[in-house]
Amino acid sequence: MIEKTIETKISVYKFEELSAEFQMLIERAKEQVINAYAPYSEFHVGAAVQLENDEIFTGSNQENSAYPSGLCAERVAMFYANSQYPRVPVKTLAIAAFTKGSFLADPVTPCGSCRQVLLETETRFEKDITILLYGTEYVYKINNVKQLLPLCFEKSSLSR
Residue 50 pairs with which residues in a beta bridge?
Answer: 56, 92
DSSP 107: P
Q: By C-alpha distance, which of 49, 46, 25, 28 is closest to 36?
A: 46
The helix or strand, by DSSP H or E, that contains position 141, with its residue range, turns out to be strand 139-142
Measuring CA to CA, how many Å separate 74 from each of 4, 17, 60, 78, 160? 31, 24, 7, 6, 29
Is residue 116 a contact partner of residue 149, using CB atoms and an 8 Å limit?
yes
Per the annotation, the verdict on 74 as an active-site residue is yes
Catalytic residue among 31, 74, 120, 137: 74
User: Do the beta carbons of residue 86 and residue 55 sit within 8 Å?
Assistant: no
Looking at the annotation, which residues are catalytic? 74
